[in-house]
Structure 1
Amino acid sequence: MRFKSLVSFITIAATVLGLGVAAQAGPCTAKIKQFDKAVRESKSSHNLGPGLPQSIDAQLSYQPTPKSVKQAERRAWAGFEAVLARAKKLDREGKRAACTRALTDAKLIYFQ
């Protein structure tokens, strides 16, 4: 009889743990993973990456310095990573619409 109880306990525990893992996946998890993969694969391309709107200096035909280019790249990456982190947080919270909007924002920033 103890063997049956142990088997029942293990079966229930496995089921609960399995449901716990499934419950951690949010409504946008698959889309976020797919986008993360695309970002990782495209990092070797110098033509892709987060961008920022054109600065006023650029509109006035001022030439950027290497330092200002690096600063702009860092700001763009930081903004992109913040938006993607927000999408992941909203996904964990189960907020489908907000997560989808944040993920769309991240895509727009990255592929700008």
Structure 2
Amino acid sequence: MFFESNEVGLHKVTYVMDETPQSLSFIVSGKDDVDLVQVGDSLRRTEIPTFDNPLNFSEICTRFDPCPYHYVAIEEALSNSLPTILLVSTPGFARQVSADLL
């Protein structure tokens, strides 16, 4: 589903799933009312841990063989002409991993 609205405020979407009506309420805020990076905005200056500068993290990658994604600092990545993807994760959304998966 794609939704686009210029109307700030409370909205409600109603839909049918498995023959059961469902509804979802959500709030649309003005771009200036939220402190989030929006599509088309420049990325805020931030530091990310790298193998050369781990920023006090004891572990920055869970792969057994160090992956190539932790050798380039974000400022270096943004200053070259190559596409850059930044994945952001927080401990608040992390799940415990079973020992047999490690």
- Normalised to the residue count of structure 2, the TM-score between the two structures is 0.27
Q: Which has the higher strand share?
A: 2
Instruction: Name the structure, 1 or 2, with higher relative contact order (CA <8 Å, separation 6+).
Output: 1
- Normalised to the residue count of structure 1, the TM-score between the two structures is 0.26
Q: Which has the higher helix share?
A: 1
